A = this chain, B = another copy of it.
Amino acid sequence: MLRGEITDAIRQAVMQELAAVGYGRLSIEAVARRAGVGKTAIYRRWSSKLEMVLEIVSRVAGQSLPLPDTGTLQGDLEILLRIVARALRHPLASQIIPDLLAEAARNPRIAQTLQESLRVNQRDVGNQVIGRAVDRGELPPGTDPDAAVDLIVGPIYWRLAVARTPLPDDHLPRMAASVASALGAGPPTGPGRSAAADGAATLPTPR
């Protein structure tokens, strides 16, 4: 009964409006205006601004992405960084993602939805890359996946979404190499260290 083209127009308008003014100032009327649609059409589909945004965003964020196995930690990282970089360079995403993350710190519903949408793509991808590297012997078995995700995604996110400094394409391999090194030396977790890089052991580590 509801015409799909209208729904699509609304979805698109919500994303644009979200990027333009943020969730805090997003108004139904502005969305309707931008979509060339009556408010009625929106309220016929969603019950409130929050429900609308959650449904639309989670649909976009929930898309699964293919992650090829390159056979090398370095190669996997490079592809991973490239994917994240492309996403964060998207003009809409680069505005919407930080905005929703900030809003999530304040609104449990948003936080929960984002986390659920991203869990599949984030946690699984992280575990997958780390797991494969461990199997290959490139990383020690005790490697903490959570800490690994911090080291992988943190730098690229900071660069593109926080500092917003342009990142030349040829820097991605360097960053991948740095991250790979960080992962190798990183978590001297528990006993039974493997043979792989343990440069950290030579550094005096207080507490």
Contact = CB atoms under 8 A, between A and B. Distances in A.
Interface of A: 20-25, 72, 74-75, 78, 94-95, 98-99, 101-103, 105-106, 111, 146-147, 149-151, 153-159, 162-166, 168, 170-171, 173-189, 197, 199-200, 203-207
Nearest to A99: B102
A16 to B, nearest CB: 13
Nearest to A165: B146
Q: Which 4 A-B pairs have the closest CB atoms?
A: A24-B24, A178-B186, A181-B185, A154-B154
A176 B206 CA distance: 11
Given A98-B102, A162-B101, A174-B186, A180 B203 contact: yes
A207 B176 CA distance: 12
